[in-house]
């Protein structure tokens, strides 16, 4: 059995985390076990009882960390696409999950607001959504991520290739 590992994508809503996760799944489909832990999807199941306070966000992240750890130790590549706004929580994830790489999906907030694929920024700016990351709740950028992808300057393929190159460099992928 090949070793599992985790690609943890963090960044603002609209930065491109889900798009990159989907491309990574496409890349490995049929050759490796791979699972995506997407924040929006998990909030409809695993964390449907949680809101968006700091405590609830941390609890949501801790649940994802627990599930990711179980999958990764059983040979699965786990792609986590989660805003995960707090450094402390991401540091905890790195402690708990063997072979985890932190990927900062970087796009300036104004670009994310412009993209606004779900209309969430519009609602947050109108005061209809409270504690929205980047509007009235902080996002703590990673200080030393394993990889930074600049989705406002590079194509999805370029971002995915940077992530795969880093996974090879870290020894998570052998003969990919």
Verify whether residue 84 is a known catalytic residue: yes
CA distances from 162 to 27, 71, 74, 134 (A): 13, 23, 25, 25
Rg of the chain taking only CA atoms, in angstroms:
16
CA 38 to CA 33: how far, in whole Å?
A: 16
Among 13, 47, 84, 159, which one carries the catalytic annotation? 84
Other Cβ atoms closer than 10 A to 41: 12
Residues with active-site annotation: 84
């Amino acid at each position: 059995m090949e070793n599992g590992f985790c690609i943890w994508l963090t960044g603002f809503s609209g930065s491109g985390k889900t798009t990159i996760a989907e491309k990574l799944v496409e890349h490995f489909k049929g050759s490796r076990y791979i699972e995506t832990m997407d924040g929006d999807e998990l909030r409809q199941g695993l964390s449907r009882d949680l809101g968006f306070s700091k405590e609830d966000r941390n609890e949501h992240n801790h649940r994802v960390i627990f599930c990711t750890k179980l999958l990764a130790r059983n040979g699965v590549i786990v792609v986590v696409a989660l805003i995960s706004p707090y450094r402390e929580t991401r540091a905890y994830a790195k402690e708990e999950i063997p072979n985890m790489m932190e990927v900062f999906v970087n796009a300036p907030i104004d670009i994310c607001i412009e993209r606004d694929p779900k209309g969430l920024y519009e609602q947050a700016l109108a005061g209809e959504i409270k504690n929205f990351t980047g509007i009235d709740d902080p996002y703590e950028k990673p200080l030393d991520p394993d990889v930074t992808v600049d989705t406002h300057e590079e194509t999805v393929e370029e971002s995915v290739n940077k992530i795969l190159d880093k996974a090879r460099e870290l020894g998570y992928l052998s003969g990919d």
